[in-house]
């Protein structure tokens, strides 16, 4: 077979690897598809024209490889680790260390896991952390008194009450009892109100995580069609507002939306946060879209998202995994909010 790659050492190595490893494989286009991931690892080092010269007999397979490459996985864990390390460097040089209070009521297994992670991240970043494990039968008044004490504690810059709370406690009442400049989760009515009026104090950590993950792909948000599936006050609405602030054209879908697929199929950016496993399937996603899966669902002891990851990744341009996507980034944004709360405290005092 004639090859016009060139005679440099680098090009000869590329030619040798491609011919030796994959020339026999490419004679069958279906076998090519099965070996796609292996082929791409080699093709990443060569220009398309080079590969065409080596494999002129199989143009169908080349088109499949170059035009149907699986989505790039957005590694939220890796991005979050870098943020935590950067914060650690900043905090190391601060005279006043950020302080975070974590309040856990009851023994909900999922809540315990989340609080454990947040406590671990605090220690890694150098944030002073106080953890309160409270009995599930604690009275609403006693919980409110604790929050009030934390509000008045100058060592504590951020207060987080892990949700959900036991049924006998009013979540909204407890959440809104946190001072806005200490609301590092961004859940209080005041925090959300400021977000909607473009005067953000502390934006919700999960919403910030979503925006950061989208921007990490290099994709521009401005002018893009963004679809948010889910309208909760914690994720859906804040994400939609933050995308709107960045000049995206935003559509919010929910349980009463008719023809959900018609909306999601138009999305350049698709954010899903509804808590329904594998709700979004491959045929509902625009080719090349950025897909952010906020959902966390447990099926048979395994965590899965709201997006059918294994199939959707074949059409999306970028996609977050579950776990390892939004979760670690939310905790990193929580640490950033705690650091920001230190500056807010100084301005208020």
List 53, 121, 185, 293, catalytic entry: 185
Neighbours of 149 (CB within 10 A): 12
- Cross-sheet strand order for the sheet of 225-229: 72-73, 318-319, 290-293, 269-272, 225-229, 249-253
**CA-to-CA dists, residue 94 to 88, 91, 127, 172, 275, angstroms:** 10, 5, 11, 34, 39
Q: Which residues of 169-204 are buried (b: 16+ CB within 10 A; e: fewer)?
A: beeeebbbbbbbbbbbbbbbebbbebbeeeebbbbb
Whether 118 sits among the annotated catalytic residues: the reply is yes
List 15, 53, 121, 162, catalytic entry: 162
> Taking a C-beta distance cutoff of 8 angstroms, is the pair 280, 308 a contact?
yes
Rounded distance between C-alpha atoms, residue 339 and residue 342, angstroms:
5
Whether 59 sits among the annotated catalytic residues: the reply is no
How far out from the chain centre does Cα 315 lie? 19
Write the DSSP symbol of residue 25. Answer: G
Would you list the DSSP string of 101-130?
EEEEES--HHHHHHHHHHHHHHHHHT-EEE
Whether 162 sits among the annotated catalytic residues: the reply is yes
Residue given tokens 């004639």 in the structure block: 2
List phi, psi (to 5°) of 298. -105, 120
How far out from the chain centre does Cα 340 lie? 20
Rounded distance between C-alpha atoms, residue 115 and residue 111, angstroms:
6
Which has the closest alpha carbon to 271: 324, 314, 208, 334? Answer: 208
Rounded distance between C-alpha atoms, residue 132 and residue 135, angstroms:
10
Active-site positions read 118, 162, 185
């Amino acid at each position: 077979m004639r090859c016009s790659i060139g005679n440099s050492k680098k090009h000869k190595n590329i030619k040798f690897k491609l011919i030796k490893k994959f020339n026999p494989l490419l004679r069958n286009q279906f076998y090519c598809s099965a070996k796609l991931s292996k082929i791409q690892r080699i093709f990443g080092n060569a220009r398309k024209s080079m590969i065409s010269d080596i494999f002129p007999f199989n143009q169908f397979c080349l088109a499949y490889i170059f035009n149907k490459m699986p989505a790039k996985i957005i590694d939220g864990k890796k991005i979050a680790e870098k943020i935590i390390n950067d914060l650690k460097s900043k905090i190391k040089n601060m005279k006043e260390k950020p302080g975070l209070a974590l309040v856990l009521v009851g023994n909900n297994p999922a809540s315990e896991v989340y609080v454990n992670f947040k406590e671990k991240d605090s220690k890694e970043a150098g944030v002073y952390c106080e953890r309160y494990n409270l009995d599930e039968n604690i009275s609403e008044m006693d919980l409110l008194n604790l929050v009030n004490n934390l509000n008045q504690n100058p060592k504590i810059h951020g207060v987080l009450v892990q949700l959900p709370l036991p049924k006998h406690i009013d979540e909204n009442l407890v959440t809104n009892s946190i001072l806005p400049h200490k609301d590092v989760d961004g859940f209080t009515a005041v925090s959300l109100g400021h977000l909607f009026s473009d005067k953000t104090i502390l934006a919700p950590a999960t919403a910030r995580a979503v925006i950061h993950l989208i921007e990490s792909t290099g994709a521009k948000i401005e002018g893009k069609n963004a679809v948010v599936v889910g309208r909760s006050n914690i994720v859906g609405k804040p994400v939609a507002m933050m995308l709107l602030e960045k000049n995206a054209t935003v559509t919010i879908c929910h349980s009463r939306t008719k023809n959900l697929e018609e909306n999601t199929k138009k999305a350049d950016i698709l954010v899903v946060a509804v808590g329904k496993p594998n709700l979004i399937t491959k045929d509902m996603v625009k080719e090349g879209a950025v897909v952010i899966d906020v959902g966390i669902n447990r099926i048979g002891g395994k965590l899965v998202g709201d997006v059918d990851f294994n199939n959707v990744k074949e059409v999306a341009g970028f996609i977050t995994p579950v776990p390892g996507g939004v979760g670690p980034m939310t905790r990193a944004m929580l640490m950033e909010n705690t650091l920001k709360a230190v500056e807010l405290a100084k301005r208020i005092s």
